Every structure is written in structure tokens, then in C-alpha cells.
Structure 1
Amino acid sequence: MEAGENVRIVNESDGAVVENIVTDEDSETVAQGEDKSPTFGFTEPSWRTDLCLVVEGTKLYVAKNILSLASPVFDAMFQSDFKEKSSDELELPGKKLRDVLEFLRCIYPNTYTQINRDNARVILPLLEEYQVLQLKPRCEVVILETVSEETSTNDLLQLLKEACLYDLKALRARCIFLISSRPCDALDENYCKSFPSASALNEIFLNPLCVVLRRGYVTEQVNEVTQCGT
């Protein structure tokens, strides 16, 4: 992290602890963890569950009250006149089983799963969709820990896209700072692949460091053209 940047990272110990709670056929979709076993699984119904989530054909048994406490979207869904209020089964089309499992493990009590570098970017879209905003700062912290001078420009641009999409201000500032110091030819090439937001792009090219580098890059191109013509 560069000195003088307005980015604060809180150091926290990570420990993704997950048990394989899916069948052997689906085991590849479950992240492996340490020896701690969660006290709640999702593959079997019990007196604690009153809703079945269907994801990629797999049934996950959950409790509406826990989903409601974690997510205002689920809360509104179960209290409104939507069919989900009285239904005991809810299909989640377009969702991946692995992603939903990670999401559930992170919002559910007693699963011993923490947000870490492996699952932060996986669950961010679901946190945003279901408005579980209290977990987004933790995601931002662990993602920031993966960003450094060694991070490729392409990866920085992808992270910048996600930072803009999910309103992660510290990550956005960090990515813009690092991208602004990259060679302009590399930035132009990679930008075409990743398309960060227009406002973020403006911040990059208006950054004083980027202005200096771009001026030098343009000068080099002019010199090359001049030499070719002589």
C-alpha cells in the first residue's frame, strides 16, 4: 500500500472452514476447509427449515427467518403478496450451486465460514442482489489484501469494474491509483477488454501521474513516426 493513500485496511485473521455438505457427485462444488464441522447443513430438511431453495437441480433446505434477518430482499419477499410468502420451495434460476452455498455459509449462523480471499468475489454479486450490505466491507478488506504493485493491469481493471459495480470505494481508489501508474500502451490494450466505468476512466487519465506518463508515451510515438519519415 502506498504511503499517503486514503485507504484503511483492517487486518483480520482469515479461516475458511467448510465441510462437504453435498453428495459425492456434487462434491466438486463445495469448498474444502479445516477440520471444524458446521453445526448446520443444507441438504436435509429438519424442524429448523421451512423453505427449499432449488439451485441447478439441487435442493438446499433453509429457514425463512434467517434469510429474512440477513437480507431485506428476502424479508420483503416473505412478507409481501408474492407467491414466495406461502411457498415452501423457491427456485433460483441462473445461480450457481457453489456460489449460493458460499453465500448461505457466510450469512448463516454456526457454519464456521468466514469471508476470505477465496470466496469474497464469489459472494459479492449475491450480497448485492439480496442487499446483505453488512458483509460488503469485509469483502472489500480481503480483496484489497490481494491487490499490489504485482497485480496485472488486466486484473486491476476487472477489480475496478467490480468496485464500481458494488460501490467499494477503497478498492476503487486503490485500483485507480495503481492503474494510473502503468504504462499507457498496456493500459489502452487492457482497457479494451475490461471496460471500467466512464467516471473511473476519467479519474485514471486525469490523475497527474497518468498525465505525465501519457505525455511521455505520446512523445515517444511522435519520435518514432518522425524517425521513420527521415
Structure 2
Amino acid sequence: MSLRLENITVAVPDGTTRRVLLDRLDLEVRPGETVAVTGASGSGKSTLVAVAGLLRVPDEGRVLIGGTDAGALKDRGRVRLRRDRVGIVFQSPNLLPALTAREQVEVVAHVAGNLDAAARARAVDLLTRVGLADRLDARPAELSGGERQRVGIARALMNEPSVVLADEPTASLDPERGQAVLDLLLDEARRVGAATVVVTHDPDQAARADRHLHLSQGVVQVGSRT
């Protein structure tokens, strides 16, 4: 399924005026395609992820996932669409301290009401794919920063999403671990055929994507295909 953002505008109060975070932005990401988004702080990158991930309703415009217009859905429908079709990797993985790596991933199926034997096996398979086969029962305090982020990637992929969004997923890691985590994320997203958007500050990482967009004041200023 593709991700389409049509004429997206988001603005917030700024003193006596309003500051535009996204200005009539259009973007389409095809199944299996990866798009990197760069830009200075405040350029609208995180807002783009929040809107695409159905975490924020735009002031204007439409978000379509696989042709489904999220804006036409009631709150429960939007939650279901996000739960079933969208996987998000945050800058900090926000793992639950009491849960093991395996349980962190299984909780996605639990929330969806389908934590069965197949789901448990999928959680183990995903953690194995991200190189954590020997860390299944480790809790966050026992994991390195890179390992925690890899758990976050496995968790984002657990629901077999059509859309994968990553907001600065390597910002807290050193360059070597950051590159390894990004490679893993892109490889897995392509493997499942997800339309993928990665926000990054690193031009070298952006070059790994199929396309590179640069945001400035909420507007796409530069677009290139690698």
C-alpha cells in the first residue's frame, strides 16, 4: 500500500500570529520505496511524521494509506488504521522497563487482540532478524542503546505495516551503530514492501534512501533520487 499526503498544512499559534509547520505539502511514497527527509530544526520534519502516522490531524489536506482517507474516518477508525497499517520508530524507543525484548514486540499483537502462537513466533523471528536472538529475555536496562533501538524496529514491524515511519531513529547512537541500525531498518522495510519515510539529519544516511527530500519552513525545497 502507498502513503499519500495531499496539500497538507499545519500551523500553530506563535504570539499574535501563526507559524506554519507544513505548507501545502504533497508527498507520495510507493510500496517498497524509502524516502529520506532532511531539514533544519523546526523545518517540519517531526510534524510530517506525526501527520503521516495519524498522530496529528492536519489543518488542511488529506492523508491516504492504501487509498483510505484517514480524515474521513471517525476516531476509532483512525486508531485502527494506525494500529493495523502503520509502524513508527521513534528517536527514543520508549521501551517498557518491566518487559523483556520479546514482550516489547508481542505487546503490539496483544493490543490488537491477536496474541496467539503465530504472533509469538513472529516476534521471535523479527528479533532474530534484527540480531537479538540471544537477547529475547533481556529487559531494557540490560540492553545497549543500539539493541534497544533494534527492539523498537522489530516492534514497529510486528503488525506487518504498509507504512513505516522513522523520526531520527539513530540520533542517540554513535555513527557506526547508527549506520547499522538504519541499514537494518531500510532492509526490513523493503523486505516487507512498506512505504517508508525516514527523518534524518545525516546526508550520508539520506543517500541510502530511494529518494531524498529536504524540508525548509514546511516546504519541500530539494528533491533528488539516489
Q: TM-score, normalised by structure 1?
A: 0.31
Higher helix share: 1
Name the structure where strand makes up a greater proportion of residues.
2
Q: Rg bigger for which structure?
A: 1
